[in-house]
Amino acid sequence: MAKLILVRHGQSTWNAANRFSGWVDVPLNRVGRREAMEAAKKISPYQIDVCFTSLLVRALETTAICLTECEGACGGKSPVFKHDADDPNWHGWDKYEGYKSEEIPIFTSPGLDERHYGDLQGFNKAEMAQKIGQDIVHEWRRSFSVRPPGGESLEDTAARTIPFFQNRILPHLKQDDNVLVSAHGNSLRSIIMYLDQLSQEEVPNLELATGIPIVYEINKEGKVSDKVVLK
Average pLDDT over residues 75-81: 83
For the stretch 24-43, pLDDT in tens is: 999 999 999 999 999 999 99
Catalytic residue among 114, 116, 152, 172: 114
List of residues 6+ apart from 209 with CB closer than 8 A: 8
CA 150 to chain centre: 22
Q: For residue 213, which of 31, 70, 115, 25 has the smallest C-alpha distance? A: 70
Active-site residue, 114 included: yes
Catalytic residue among 9, 83, 172, 184: 9
Active-site residue, 184 included: no
Beta bridge partners of 106: 51, 81
pLDDT of residue 180: 97
CA R_g for the chain: 17
Domains in the chain: boundaries = 2-229
For the stretch 128-176, pLDDT in tens is: 999 999 999 999 998 999 999 999 999 999 999 999 999 999 999 999 9
Does pLDDT of 95 surpass 70? Answer: no
3-state SS, one letter per residue, for the chain: CEEEEEEECCCEHHHHCCECCCCCCCCECHHHHHHHHHHHHHCCCCCCCEEEECCCHHHHHHHHHHHHCCCCCCCCCEEEEECCCCCHHHCCHHHCCCCHHHEEEEEECHHHCCCCCHHHCCCEHHHHHHHHCHHHHHHHHHCCCCCCCCCCCHHHHHHHHHHHHHHHHHHHHHCCCCEEEEECHHHHHHHHHHHHCCCCCCHHHCCCCCCCCEEEEECCCCCEEEEEECC
For the stretch 38-66, pLDDT in tens is: 999 999 999 999 999 999 999 999 999 99
Fold that domain 2-229 belongs to in CATH:
Rossmann fold (3.40.50)
